[in-house]
């Protein structure tokens, strides 16, 4: 039997009598009166010894992702140490290709490997109608997390954005030059658009279901958005994201949507203006004064502490945390990293940043 953290049980009893506002959700209405809410991208994972131990229960990572008992515990682990204002569903963006019938393997030390999809014929073989059934364990995890989380803690659901999920499906892996997907998208846009369309439709259905099960914010990870030039960025990042956002809103959901077009540079501005998202996650390269002037008037901003600085620690970490707080606390803002926590991050460095945020002190 798995242990549940004391924090969670204790708080349930303490708060059931009054209606508690969730600081993370309130931040979408404007500046936070006390301190900015915070959570960390990839806050659950290998930097925590208790995660590494839990992971032993399912050597295959996808089996782990499809075991609600394990994923609920993994999502709660960082909260019992650092008391973030939100939990994020423990899953992966690549459960969507897996659910569509594309073979996905997580190879130790190599990251994810997929059987590549490189033709219209292969797109036609995808099975979007099986998605909901296949991902029942993910929805069970969302429901259970919502049930056990303390009332002041928000629950974040997520999916990969179509461009990024397509990149893994076409290349068979992430990163590198990604020349196969770019050649396809640039030379035969009508054919490539079919893959993006299947992914956008499936993502809408997937996120709707997460919201129905209790997700209170949803996040769209477009990790590889930064590979694209302006015209291509509009076609494959902005257009499908705008479609997902408008269809979620048209379904009657008022759950805030945070987009993360990592590496978009100056195109962050078009992304914020044209997609209709409620919040944007900033990678570490985004200048803070620029974000404050150009992005924050339009939507909440989240970010953008350098994840390598969290590994390094020391004076630089404290100074940068203060600089981010100073620059962005005057508007809608969630403190976070600019990209996911790295496995080599000392948990004590995460604790130091969390303590700093609780003391709501923006001095360096």
Q: Which residues of the shown chain bind ligand 1CP in the complex (CB under 6 A)?
A: 42-46, 55, 61, 88, 90, 92-94, 106, 111-112, 158, 174-175, 221, 223, 340
Residue nearest to ligand 1CP (CB): 174
CB of 53 to ligand 1CP, least distance (A): 12
Measure the CA–CA gap between 321 and 133, rounded to whole angstroms: 43
> Annotated catalytic, 98?
no
CB of 289 to ligand 1CP, least distance (A): 25
Neighbours of 251 (CB within 10 A): 12
> Annotated catalytic, 121?
no
CB of 167 to ligand 1CP, least distance (A): 9
Which residue in 47, 85, 92, 206 is the catalytic one?
92
Measure the CA–CA gap between 339 and 40, rounded to whole angstroms: 9
Four-CA torsion 19, 25, 29, 31, nearest 10 degrees:
100
Q: Which is nearer to ligand 1CP, 94 or 334 (CB)?
A: 94
Cα-based angle 71, 74, 76 (whole degrees, multiple of 5): 110
> Annotated catalytic, 42?
yes
Query: In which residue are the tokens 């506002």 written?
Result: 21
Q: Which is nearer to ligand 1CP, 345 or 362 (CB)?
A: 345
Q: With the C-alpha atoms ordered 26, 154, 94, 106, is the resulting torsion angle positive or negative?
A: positive
Q: Which is nearer to ligand 1CP, 44 or 181 (CB)?
A: 44
Q: Which is nearer to ligand 1CP, 110 or 359 (CB)?
A: 110
Closest CA to 327 of 293, 281, 360: 293
Closest CA to 29 of 241, 333, 321, 344: 333
> Annotated catalytic, 3?
no
CB of 30 to ligand 1CP, least distance (A): 26
Measure the CA–CA gap between 301 and 145, rounded to whole angstroms: 25
Number of helices and strands in the chain (H, E): 19, 9
CB of 175 to ligand 1CP, least distance (A): 5
Which residue in 55, 81, 247, 323 is the catalytic one?
55
Cα diameter, the chain: 60
> Annotated catalytic, 92?
yes
Alpha-carbon radius of gyration of the chain: 20
Q: Which is nearer to ligand 1CP, 153 or 223 (CB)?
A: 223
Nearby residues of 139 by Cβ (< 8 Å), 6 or more positions away: 132, 209, 210, 213
Q: Which is nearer to ligand 1CP, 61 or 290 (CB)?
A: 61
CB of 261 to ligand 1CP, least distance (A): 11
Catalytic residues: 42, 46, 55, 92, 168
């Amino acid at each position: 039997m798995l242990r549940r953290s004391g924090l969670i049980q204790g708080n349930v009893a303490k708060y059931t009598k009054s209606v508690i506002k969730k600081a993370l959700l309130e931040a979408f209405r404007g500046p936070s009166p006390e301190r900015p809410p915070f959570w960390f991208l990839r806050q659950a994972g290998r930097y925590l010894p208790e995660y590494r131990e839990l992971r032993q229960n399912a050597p295959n990572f996808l089996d782990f992702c499809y075991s609600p008992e394990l994923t609920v515990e993994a999502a709660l682990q960082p909260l019992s140490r650092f008391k973030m204002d939100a939990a994020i569903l423990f899953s992966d963006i690549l459960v969507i290709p897996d659910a569509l019938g594309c073979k996905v393997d997580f190879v130790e030390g190599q990251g994810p490997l997929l059987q590549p999809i490189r033709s219209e014929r292969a797109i036609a073989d995808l099975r979007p109608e099986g998605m909901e059934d296949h991902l029942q364990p993910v929805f069970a995890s969302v429901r259970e997390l919502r049930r056990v989380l303390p009332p002041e803690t928000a629950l974040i659901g997520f999916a990969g954005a179509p461009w990024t999920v397509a990149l893994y499906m076409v290349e068979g892996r992430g990163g590198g030059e990604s020349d196969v997907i770019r050649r396809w998208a640039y030379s035969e846009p009508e054919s490539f658009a079919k893959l993006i369309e299947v992914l956008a439709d499936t993502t809408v259905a997937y996120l709707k279901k997460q919201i129905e099960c209790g997700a209170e914010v949803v996040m769209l990870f477009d990790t590889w958005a930064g590979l694209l030039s302006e015209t291509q960025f509009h076609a494959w990042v902005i257009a499908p994201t705008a479609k997902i956002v408008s269809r979620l809103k048209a379904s009657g959901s008022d759950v805030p949507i945070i987009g993360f077009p990592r590496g978009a540079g100056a195109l962050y501005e078009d992304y914020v203006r044209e997609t209709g998202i409620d919040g944007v996650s900033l990678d570490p390269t985004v200048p803070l004064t620029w974000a404050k002037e150009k992005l924050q008037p339009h939507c909440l901003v989240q970010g953008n502490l350098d994840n390598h600085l969290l590994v390094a620690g020391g004076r630089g970490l404290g100074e940068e945390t203060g600089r981010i707080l100073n620059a962005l606390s005057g508007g809608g803002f969630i403190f976070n990293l600019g990209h996911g926590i790295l496995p080599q991050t000392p948990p004590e460095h995460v604790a130091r940043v969390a303590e700093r945020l609780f003391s709501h002190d923006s001095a360096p």
